[in-house]
Amino acid sequence: MSMVARLITIYSFLFLHELQPVLEGAALLLRERRGLGAIVLEDGEPRAFGMTTFADEALIDAYLAEAHPHLGRRLLLDALNPHSSSILQLHQIGERNAGRGLQVVVVNCNMHPATRDPGAVLGAVIAANFHVHRGYRIARYLNEVYGEMNVSIIESSRSYEIRRIFELPVGDGTIRSLVGTVTREQATAWSNPLLALFAYSPPRLRFTPPEQRLLSEALAGVTDETLSARLGVPVSAIKGRWSRIQERVMRLAPELFPNVPEAPRRGRGVQTRHLILQYLREHPSELTPYAWPDTRIRQRHIQEPGATIARDRR
């Protein structure tokens, strides 16, 4: 978390005494797949960090009725409270994906002051934001930004409904803060650039959380041997998991893979694996939590944490 610590800059001048628990909350959410994040590099150095989490609808409705600053701080601190219901658990994320959609809150988005090309880094942050949210059914997106430049960007972009603007005391002066939201309906009506965040098609292949973890790693080019080491299971178990994935895919959706050759099993397996991975690149919802109607109770007990920090420099 050292790179992330260097990039959560807002807390360095507003809540320095809370920096450590904030970092611990961020790490927990990323580890448990209840938060999504991306680090952007410039010349090999971390220059920006963005992170979101999935909040409870009732909390967000109450918050927007009387918005106040530092919602992201509150959520990151709440992550360490086992009795807090402000952030969704993994099975609840699956239920919202299969139902009315998710309330996504930006809990941090900051750029290092030493950034050489802020425009390029900001563009990479935006691209990473779209990338990590692919496959999630988003109902509302909430963003609180700090600083005159960031507030001005939001005001001029007209991509958000501006809910409140604050003047926050900092030392001998103040800093502006803005809370903005956008829903799927608003993004559609406004035809704004955030519309891509709300694109969604439901999964159909019913991968289990362990299978999703394997497939996510495989999409990054990881070999079976590396998967074995990362997941802590024998290579034979990895190959067995691949076999079950391929058999289920061909049973549930054979029409998606019409070009799999009728060849010896080994060759067919390699070709099927390649086609499955290509399909997943185009259908990311297959690798996000999803509560199928006949498995919602069971999914409450199946949670396999996985790292979600993406390192992007596009």
| Per-residue model confidence as pLDDT tens digits over 157-172 | 888 999 999 998 877 8
Residues 274-290 have a mean pLDDT of 94
Please choose, from the candidates 102, 96, 124, the residue with its C-alpha nearest in 3D space to the C-alpha of residue 111: 124
Q: What is the pLDDT of residue 21?
A: 87
Question: Is there a contact between 71 and 105 (Cβ–Cβ < 8 Å)?
Answer: yes
**pLDDT above 90 coverage of the chain, percent:** 52
Residue 271: the pLDDT is 74
50 contacts: CB under 8 Å, gap ≥ 6: 37, 38, 40, 106, 108, 109, 110, 125, 128, 129
Distance separating alpha carbons of residues 53 and 72, to the nearest angstrom:
9
Q: Is it the case that residue 301 has pLDDT exceeding 60?
A: no
What SS3 string covers the chain? CHHHHHHCCHHHHHCHHHHHHHHHHHHHHHHCCCEEEEEEEECCEEEEEEEEEEECHHHHHHHHHCCCCCHHHHHHHHCCCCCCCCECCHHHHHHHHCCCCEEEEEEEEEECCCCCCHHHHHHHHHHHHHHHCCCCCEEEEEEEEECHHHHHHHHHHCCCEEEEEEEEEECCEEEEEEEEEEEHHHHHHHCCHHHHHHCCCCCCCCCCHHHHHHHHHHHCCCCHHHHHHHHCCCHHHHHHHHHHHHHHHHHHCHHHCCCCCCCCHHHHHHHHHHHHHHHHHHCHHHHCCCCCCCCHHHHCCCCCCCCCEEEECC
- Is it the case that residue 260 has pLDDT exceeding 80? no
Boundaries of every domain in the chain: 2-198, 209-287
List all residues 6 or more positions away from 280 whose beta carbon is below 8 Å from its beta carbon.
Answer: 215, 219, 286, 287
Out of 24-28, 215-219, 267-271, 308-312, least confident range: 308-312
Residue length of the chain: 314
The pLDDT score that the predictor gives to residue 14 is 52
Say which range, 1-5, 70-74, 93-97, 221-225, has the weakest mean pLDDT.
1-5
- The mean of the pLDDT values for the chain is 84
Give the end-to-end CA distance of the chain in Å, rounded to a whole number. 22
Nearest to 51 by CA among 76, 70, 83: 76
CB-based contact 279:252 (threshold 8 Å): no
Which pLDDT score, from 0 to 100, does residue 196 have? Answer: 92
pLDDT (0 to 100) of residue 136 = 98
- C-alpha distance from residue 88 to each of 79, 129, 131, 140 (Å): 10, 19, 21, 14
Fold of 2-198: Aminopeptidase (3.40.630)
Taking 60 as the threshold, does the pLDDT of residue 308 lie above it? Answer: no
Which residues share a beta bridge with 39?
Answer: 49, 311
Mean pLDDT along residues 148-163:
88
- How many of the other CB atoms lie within 10 Å of CB of 172? 5
What's the whole-number mean pLDDT along residues 91-116? 92
> Rounded to an integer, what distance in angstroms lies between the CA atom of residue 99 and that of residue 87?
17
* 39 and 3 Cβ atoms separated by less than 8 Å: yes
* Section 14-24 average pLDDT: 76
Please compute the mean of the pLDDT values over residues 38-60 and round it to a whole number: 92
Give the pLDDT score at 143: 94
Q: How many CB atoms lie within 10 A of CB 250?
A: 15
Span of 26-30, 240-244, 308-312 with lowest mean pLDDT: 308-312
- At 104, list the tokens: 């996504």
Does 55 score more than 90 pLDDT? Answer: yes
Share of the chain above pLDDT 70, in %: 85
